[in-house]
C-alpha cells in the first residue's frame, strides 16, 4: 500500500493582496499527476486545507473538484482533518456526501473517540490500514479553565489534554488492530494524523505560526503520541521536518511558500510505502509554481539585482528591502521604472530606516497589512518608551491573547449555541 502525506495547502491565501489561485491550481494538478504516476492508494491531508474559516467560492470549488478527480483515480482512500485555519463545521458539513467517494473527513472533535478512527479496506473489503484522524485540538476541546491559573498551569493542562486525547483515540485503534489480528491473523498498521505544534519544531518568518505561540505554550513532544502508531502525518508547521529525530513522525510542510521567509525552501510531499508491515519513506519534491525573490541592500544593489532578473526574463514576485543610509523619497517610483517592460512584479517595498518609527497613516513605505500583530505591538511598546525589562512579560501576555483569539470562532460558537 502506498500513502501520500501532505498538509497546509492554505487555499485562498494571498501575498500582500495578490491572489495566488494559479499556484494552487497548478499544485493540485501536479498532485493528481503524482498520485497517478506513483499509484498512490491513500491520500492523507493533515489540516489547513483553506487559509480562512470562510473560504471563497473559488477555493471551495478547487477543493471539491480535486477530491472528485482523486476519487476517480487509482487512489482508493482520502482522509482529511481540519487545521487551525479551517472551520470544523464547514468541513464536517459535507462529510456524509464525501464518504460516498471514499473521502473521510474529520473536522471537529467529538465526545466519542471512535469518530476519529477510520478503517480503510482493500479491494477485497479487508482492513488494510487504521487511521487515527485527530483534527486540530482547540483549547476548549482539551482543557477546562480555572481561575487564577498561570501560563505554566495552562501549558501543562494543554499538553496533558493532547496526550489524553491521543491516548483515547489510540486505544480505540489498538483494540481494532487486536480484533483484526485475532480474526484474520494479519496485523493491520496504525497511522496517526494531527495538526499541532511539536517541541523544537522549525518555523520561519511570515508563516503565521511563530508569533502565535509563546515559550513552550502548547508545544508537545513525541512522547505524547501512542507508540502503536507506525507513522504520524502532521500538519501546522510549514517547514518539512522530522519530529524528535524520528523518521516516522513528520511534517510534510506547506506545498508552496506562504511568504518570502519560505521562498528558499524545497517544498515536498511524503510518500510512505507499506509492505509486509515495513515502512519505506520517500520525500518527493514539489515544483516551484511561482518564483518569489527577496532583494535586500542599498539602492545600487537593488537595481543591479532587478537588472539581472530582467535579463533572465524572470517572472518573479519581488519583496524589496532598502537598507541604505540615504533617504530616498521616490524609491517606489525608481523601482517601478526599473521593472518597466518586464514580467517582474513588486509585491512589497520596505525601508529599514523607518522600521522603528510608529505607524504613520500617511507613510508610503510601510502599511498595516505588511505587519504582523506582534510587529504592531512592538511598535506600540517603542512609542510609549516601555523599558526593556518590562517588555518580556508584556509580549508574553500579548502572545497569550493572540493564542486565545486563534482558538475562538465566534460564528461557529454562535451556531453551536
- Tell me the domains of the chain and their CATH numbers: 2-285 (3.60.21.10), 292-407 (3.30.160.720)
Of 41, 34, 39, the C-alpha closest to 287 is 34
Alpha-carbon separation of residue 59 from 14, 105, 255, 289, 399 (angstroms): 12, 17, 16, 17, 30
**In this predicted structure, what is the pLDDT of residue 367?**
53
Query: Which pairing describes strands 317-322 and 292-297: parallel, antiparallel, or unpaired?
Result: parallel
Contact 395, 374 (CB under 8 A): yes
Contact 316, 293 (CB under 8 A): yes
What secondary structure does DSSP assign to 217-279, as a single string?
Answer: TTEE-GGGS-TT-SEEEEES-SS-EEETTEEEEEE---SS-SSGGGTTS--EEEEEEEETTEE
Grid cell of 155 as nine digits:
501549558
**In this predicted structure, what is the pLDDT of residue 369?**
53
**In this predicted structure, what is the pLDDT of residue 207?**
63
**In this predicted structure, what is the pLDDT of residue 414?**
40
**In this predicted structure, what is the pLDDT of residue 405?**
63
**In this predicted structure, what is the pLDDT of residue 415?**
42
Q: For 208, what's the count of Cα atoms within 13 Å in the CB-facing half-sphere?
A: 17
The dihedral sign for the CA sequence 199, 200, 205, 211: positive
Radius of gyration over alpha carbons of the chain, in Å?
Answer: 23
Neighbour count for residue 315 (Cβ, 10 Å): 12
**In this predicted structure, what is the pLDDT of residue 219?**
78
Indicate the pTM of the whole model: 0.85
pLDDT along the chain (417 residues), means of 10: 97 94 97 98 97 95 97 96 94 94 94 95 94 92 80 83 95 97 94 91 67 57 93 95 94 95 94 91 96 94 95 96 85 91 93 50 49 76 73 70 58 40
**In this predicted structure, what is the pLDDT of residue 374?**
73
Three-class HEC string of 151-184: HHHHHHHHHHHHHHHHHHHHHHHHHHHHHHHHHH
**In this predicted structure, what is the pLDDT of residue 395?**
72
Q: Which helix (H) or strand (E) holds 92?
A: helix 88-93
Amino acid at each position: 500500500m502506498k500513502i501520500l502525506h501532505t498538509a497546509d495547502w492554505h487555499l485562498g491565501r494571498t501575498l500582500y493582496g495578490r491572489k495566488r489561485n494559479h499556484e494552487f491550481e497548478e499544485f493540485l494538478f501536479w498532485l493528481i499527476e503524482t498520485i497517478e504516476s506513483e499509484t498512490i492508494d491513500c491520500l492523507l491531508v493533515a489540516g489547513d486545507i483553506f487559509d480562512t474559516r470562510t473560504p471563497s467560492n473559488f477555493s471551495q470549488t478547487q477543493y471539491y473538484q480535486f477530491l472528485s478527480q482523486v476519487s476517480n483515480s487509482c487512489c482508493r482512500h482520502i482522509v482529511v482533518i481540519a487545521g487551525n485555519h479551517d472551520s470544523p463545521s464547514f468541513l464536517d458539513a459535507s462529510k456524509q456526501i464525501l464518504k460516498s467517494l471514499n473521502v473521510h473527513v474529520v473536522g471537529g472533535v467529538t465526545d466519542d473517540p471512535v469518530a476519529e478512527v477510520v478503517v480503510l479496506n482493500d479491494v477485497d473489503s479487508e482492513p488494510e490500514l487504521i487511521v487515527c484522524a485527530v483534527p486540530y485540538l482547540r483549547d476548549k476541546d482539551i482543557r477546562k479553565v480555572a481561575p487564577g491559573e498561570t501560563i505554566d498551569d495552562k501549558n501543562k493542562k494543554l499538553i496533558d489534554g493532547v496526550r489524553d486525547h491521543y491516548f483515547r483515540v489510540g486505544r480505540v485503534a489498538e483494540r481494532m488492530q487486536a480484533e483484526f489480528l485475532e480474526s484474520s491473523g494479519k496485523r493491520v498498521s496504525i497511522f496517526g494524523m494531527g495538526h499541532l505544534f511539536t517541541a523544537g519544531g522549525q518555523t520561519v518568518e511570515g508563516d503565521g505560526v511563530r508569533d502565535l505561540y509563546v515559550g513552550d505554550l502548547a508545544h508537545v513532544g513525541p512522547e505524547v503520541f501512542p507508540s502503536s502508531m507506525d507513522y504520524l502525518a502532521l500538519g501546522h508547521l510549514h517547514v518539512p521536518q522530522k519530529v524528535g529525530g524520528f523518521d516516522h513522525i513528520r511534517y510534510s510542510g506547506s506545498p508552496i511558500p506562504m511568504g518570502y521567509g519560505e521562498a528558499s525552501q524545497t517544498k515536498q510531499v511524503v510518500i510512505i510505502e507499506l509492505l509486509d508491515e515495513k515502512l519505506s519513506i520517500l520525500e518527493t519534491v514539489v515544483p516551484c509554481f511561482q518564483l518569489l525573490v527577496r532583494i535586500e541592500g542599498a539602492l545600487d544593489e537593488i537595481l543591479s539585482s532587478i537588472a539581472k532578473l530582467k535579463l533572465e526574463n524572470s517572472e518573479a514576485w519581488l519583496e524589496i528591502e532598502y537598507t541604505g543610509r540615504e533617504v530616498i523619497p521616490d524609491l517606489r517610483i525608481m523601482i517601478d521604472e526599473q521593472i518597466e517592460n518586464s514580467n517582474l512584479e513588486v509585491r512589497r517595498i520596505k525601508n529599514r530606516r523607518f522600521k522603528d518609527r510608529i505607524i504613520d497613516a500617511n507613510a508610503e513605505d510601510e502599511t498595516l497589512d505588511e505587519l504582523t500583530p506582534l510587529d504592531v505591538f512592538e511598535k506600540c511598546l517603542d512609542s510609549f518608551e516601555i523599558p526593556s525589562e518590562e517588555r518580556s512579560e508584556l509580549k508574553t501576555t500579548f502572545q497569550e491573547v493572540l493564542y486565545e483569539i486563534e482558538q475562538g470562532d465566534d460564528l461557529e460558537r454562535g451556531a453551536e449555541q
